[in-house]
Chain A
Amino acid sequence: MTKTKPISHPFLLLLVLIAHAAMMILVALSFGITAEVVKLACIVLTADFIGSIILQFVQREACTVDTVLLLVIGMSTIYQSCFGGLEFALKHFAFGVGAFLMCQASYLVTRNPYRAERMKPLWYALFFGLVAAIRFLTGSRSMWIDLGFITIQPSEFVKPVFVLICASSIRTQLKKSSFLGIHFVPDNLLLIFCTGVIAVLQWWCRDLGSLPTFLAVAGFAFLLRFCYLREKISARLMVFLILCAVAAAVFAWKAAPAYVQERLHSDIWADMSGTGYQQVKALTAIAEGGWFGKGAGNGSLIHVAASRTDIVFSTICEEWGLFTGMMTVILVLFLPASILTVPPRSYYHSGLAVGVAAVFMVQMTLNIFGSCNLIPFTGVTIPFISQGGSSMLASGILAGFLKAAQAPVLTDRSTAKGGA
């Protein structure tokens, strides 16, 4: 593939630098120019610089994803360092760097759709390996594996693997098997099985927060496959599917365990110190923040549990204002939106892109709208913004898929040999 002139990287990276520098000015306005502020500024700006050099000389394709990633990771490092007082969030920053590298790594693995598709047995193996790890290694239904020095949450890593499973090429969809006169696509059958496995596992773990994410990814995967292999979805089938979805939702609503029921029906303002505590604090904090916030480090939400993860949107809004909070969310949306500008050029990549969009958007929906009491509150993270290593790295991997969809490499060893 001949290299084309990439768009002006230095220009974009200059913008990232300027944005971060402007944020650091805001931090300096709050804390004064102290050693800690200078340290934070140096680290973030240097990381931008190094990142831009890597992108300029090593990896020149699909710079939108990388630029947004640099911008968002830097921003979230600044946010996380300033919550309730300045302390450089080393761990968060390190995982941010990790996520950036993961993005490049997963790009390299998946940029060739033919190869990524051929590696599907590996993805299935990884999937079942992770599921087994959750089932047998996590302590008492908690989803966490404690390795002593670090705890990892394998369920986060299931997400990118599941997205890899969900994507599929036309060639795979055309491979049909027949059993007892019923024709079926083995890959579809396997996907249904995997979806069932993950649903049962989440139920068993009492961690229904991530279930919508998986269901959304699987749902969109089937939507893409259905549209392809069936005739166009007829109105009747659509109504049937919608009715099924509604019935499933009603069933889930009724059959949900007691602690979920409690969350579905509780009025947070009636129990401000009990079940509604986090949301009441979160909403009040947004109200206190107003448009432009109380200033970095001046928030009080940090004393509330999960202020850096589940209600991080409110924590940002309190210190930086609703305007910036919304902007940050929209910035993260730039990642899945990037495929609207450069359309994916293979069926497998388009499946990956929709899967990533579903993961990102469902997670953000659950987190933001949940903490703002528009939907039941669940403990999920905002990609790249919330604290949490596993989530950060998994999101990095997902961003790599998007990059792969932007800059694919289309060489297939197996078919190249068969040329006439």
Chain B
Amino acid sequence: MAGRQKKQQRPSAPQLDISAPRSTRRAGKWTALLLTCFILALIYLGYTLISKAPSYMAKSGKTTYGKVLDRDGDVLFDGSQPLTNYPPGQFADIGNLIGDTSGQMSNTIVAKHLEELANYSFTYGNEAGDATIHTTLSHRANKTVYNAFGDKNGAAIAYNWKTGEILVCVSRPCVDIAQGYADLESMPSGSLLCKAFFPTVPGSTQKVSTLIAAYEAAGVTGVNALEYTCEGSWVNPNGDAINCHQAYGHGTQNLQQAFENSCNPYFAQLVQSGIAPLSSIIGTYTRMGYAVNGQKADAMDLDGITINPASTKLSDLNNFETEWGALGQGKTLVSPYQLMLWQGAIANGTGSAVRPYLVKSRTTPTGENVELAVQRQTPQMFSAQAAQAVREVETLNSTHHYYVSFDVYSCGCKSGTAQVNDGGREYENSLLAGFCLDDRAPVAFCILIEERQSWDITTAQLARILLDAVSGIS
């Protein structure tokens, strides 16, 4: 052909390459990308469906539920058969803590672990077997403490401050889940909630927090040397009077004496003196978990159960409300659980408690054991020095005033009397927060007896019963 180029003479024809040009290859790339995304999403979907299937079954009520057991294997809840099959009173003491599947209570172990309790597995369906949740509670000790309340209402909670296991958690009045909810209207109020988790007026047990705040700000020796005079009543700079329960006054006391006397004027003066500046008190309280002045504090979580944080109002050290709050009255509210937690951090002398837990492990319907408890520390709430100093003060308090009650146990504690104004009805609650250092019963506890009269059982007596009940549990 005319004009044909000098042929590039090749010894043989080249190997044919027919790969598509990039303009059309692009289609394959986009399709591959789409497919990859879709397949990945599909894998995620499969994983979600399989892992959430027990929850779907539980939420739509298409499965039966397994058992909740205490640390010795005693049944606390059984979803596989009518609860009336159990002896009467079996669930009387733990109804508002463990709960049931009726949906009446939402902040309970069962309600928060429906998924784990479902007798369902994706592979074996509803015939899988029995799901079980193993708790750290001692049902025997719990019943003993529950019965010890007699006809009084209140709460008691205790945990092993070395391991974090909650051994006793009682809240009276308590619904008996075996009886059902037919007479819901006639049930005493508070039957459906566990008071150990609800903030209440702490009374003088608050002085522990105030003391910690003072130690944090001014050091242990400085605070221990402080002396103030109590004349039965003390008038603050604004002209408001803070009265002592001892009408004639305690005279001049040092800290240890004032703590043991639970002297309001002393602690009011301690707060007002400014030895611990307001910002320092607020800082310590916030670290301890208080929601100060309406600020948001994180709700605490105990195996899914929500515990509302303590709260208080601190505006001005000369202000009556602030001082009154630092004495555990007025706007201050703390749950027994949190009082117990601080005692745990005091007992171990570090200022950081082992986090309590209630659910130890679970057995899946297919028989697999899953450990759920993780031993974790709380954040540093206060310094180790403060913790050790308070432990010293509390131990002396216990030795001097509660020797009769605690006897063989080496304990530390702080009592409190809370003036509660419940919608116009005024009454006094009795509280005791403390710890036991003995290896027999290394527990931190908090006891609340509502409307205690002088002839009723004392918190210290109840604490002794509790210690005896949990003694030897390891």
Contact = CB atoms under 8 A, between A and B. Distances in A.
- Chain A interface size range: 35 or more
B88 interface: no
A368 B48 CA distance: 13
A93 to B, nearest CB: 27
From B31, B32, B53, residue with most partner A Cβ within 10 Å: B31
Interface string A39-69: 0000000000000000000000000000000
Contacts of B30: 220, 223-224, 354, 357
Contacts of B46: 322, 326
A336 B27 contact: no
A103 interface: no
Interface string A283-296: 11011101100000
B34 A287 contact: no
B23 interface: yes
B27 A361 contact: no
Nearest to B49: A286
A291 B48 CA distance: 14
From B23, B50, B62, B123, residue with most partner A Cβ within 10 Å: B23
Given A357-B35, A361-B38, A224 B60 contact: no
A336 B49 contact: no
A347 B39 CA distance: 26
A82 interface: no
B32 A340 contact: yes
B53 A287 contact: yes
A152 interface: no
B185 to A, nearest CB: 26
B42 A353 contact: no
From A223, A227, A357, residue with most partner B Cβ within 10 Å: A357
A228 B23 contact: yes
Given A346-B24, A350-B26, A290 B41 contact: no
A333 interface: yes
A347 B48 CA distance: 39
A343 B57 contact: no
Contacts of A339: 27-28, 31
Nearest to A355: B27
A351 B30 CA distance: 10
A350 B27 contact: yes
A170 to B, nearest CB: 7
Contacts of A329: 42
Given A269-B59, A286-B49, A333 B24 contact: no
Contacts of A286: 49, 53, 56
Contacts of B38: 333, 361, 364-365
B120 interface: yes
Contacts of A336: 31, 34-35
Contacts of B182: none
B122 interface: yes
Contact of A372 (B20, B48, B126): B48
A286 to B, nearest CB: 6
Interface in B179-224: none
Interface in B3-55: 20, 23-28, 30-32, 34-35, 38-39, 41-42, 44-46, 48-50, 52-54
B251 interface: no
From B38, B42, B122, residue with most partner A Cβ within 10 Å: B38
Give the dominant DSSP class at A's interface.
Answer: helix
B367 interface: no
Nearest to A287: B53
A191 interface: no
B379 interface: no
A280 B42 contact: no
A130 interface: no
A345 interface: yes
Contacts of A354: 27, 30-31
Contacts of A340: 28, 31-32, 35
A365 B44 CA distance: 12
A336 B53 CA distance: 31
Given A337-B35, A361-B35, A364-B38, A287 B27 contact: no
B20 to A, nearest CB: 4
B237 interface: no
Nearest to B20: A343
Contacts of B27: 224, 339, 343-344, 350-351, 353-354
B41 A358 contact: no
A361 B57 contact: no
A353 B31 contact: yes
Contacts of A18: none
B125 interface: yes
Given A272-B59, A290-B123, A344-B27, A333 B49 contact: no
A288 B125 contact: yes
A343 B123 contact: no
A2 B170 CA distance: 88
B57 A288 contact: yes
Contacts of A238: none
Contact of B56 (A283, A353, A358): A283
Given A357-B35, A361-B34, A361-B38, 7 more contacts: A224-B30, A284-B60, A322-B122, A344-B24, A347-B24, A353-B31, A354-B31
5 contacts: A284-B57, A333-B39, A350-B27, A354-B31, A357-B30
